[in-house]
Chains A and B, each alone.
Chain A
Amino acid sequence: MLVNIHSKRIFNLAYQFSGSYQAAEDLTQEIFLKLYYSLPKFDINKNFNAWLMTLSKNYLIDQYRKKKLENASRDEFNEHLLVSDTYKGPEEGILEKENKKMIWKGFDHLSPDIRMAVILKDIQEKKYDEIAEIMSLPLGTVKSRVSRGRLLLAKTLKEKKEKSNGM
Chain B
Amino acid sequence: MECKHYEKLLSPYLENSLSLDERKAVKAHLDICQDCRSLLGFMQETIKSLSDFPEVEVTHDLFNRLRQIPEKKNRFKLRFDFLLRPSLQPVFAAATILLTLFSFYAFNPNRDQINRSVNRQMHLGFSKIEKLYARAESFTDSLGEYKDDIMVSLKNLNPLSGDE
Contacts and interface: CB of A to CB of B under 8 A. Distances in A.
A121 to B, nearest CB: 8
A103 B49 contact: yes
A123 B48 CA distance: 9
A147 B8 contact: yes
A29 B8 contact: no
Contacts of A148: 8
Contacts of B55: 8, 12
A99 to B, nearest CB: 5
B70 A36 contact: yes
A23 interface: no
Interface in A24-54: 24-25, 28-29, 32-33, 36-37
Interface stretch (A55-63, A79-87, A129-137): A79-87
Summarize B's interface: helix, strand, loop or mixed.
Answer: helix
Contacts of A28: 58, 62, 66
A116 interface: no
Contacts of A7: 58, 62-63, 66
B20 interface: no
Given A99-B45, A150-B46, A151-B43, A33 B54 contact: no
Contacts, number: 101
B56 A99 contact: no
Contact of A150 (B11, B56, B70): B11
B58 A122 contact: no
Interface residues of B, number: 32
B32 to A, nearest CB: 19
A147 B69 contact: no
B38 interface: yes
Given A7-B66, A28-B66, A33-B69, A151 B49 contact: no
B58 A154 contact: no
B54 A83 contact: yes
B47 interface: yes
Contacts of B112: none
Nearest to A150: B11
B47 A150 contact: yes
B69 A32 contact: yes
Contacts of B8: 147-148, 151
Given A3-B69, A36-B73, A118-B50, 13 more contacts: A7-B66, A29-B69, A32-B66, A82-B56, A100-B49, A103-B50, A123-B50, A123-B53, A125-B51, A147-B8, A147-B11, A157-B45, A161-B42
B56 A81 contact: yes
B159 to A, nearest CB: 86
Contacts of A25: 59, 62
A154 B54 contact: no
A83 B42 CA distance: 21
B54 A11 contact: no
A3 B43 contact: no
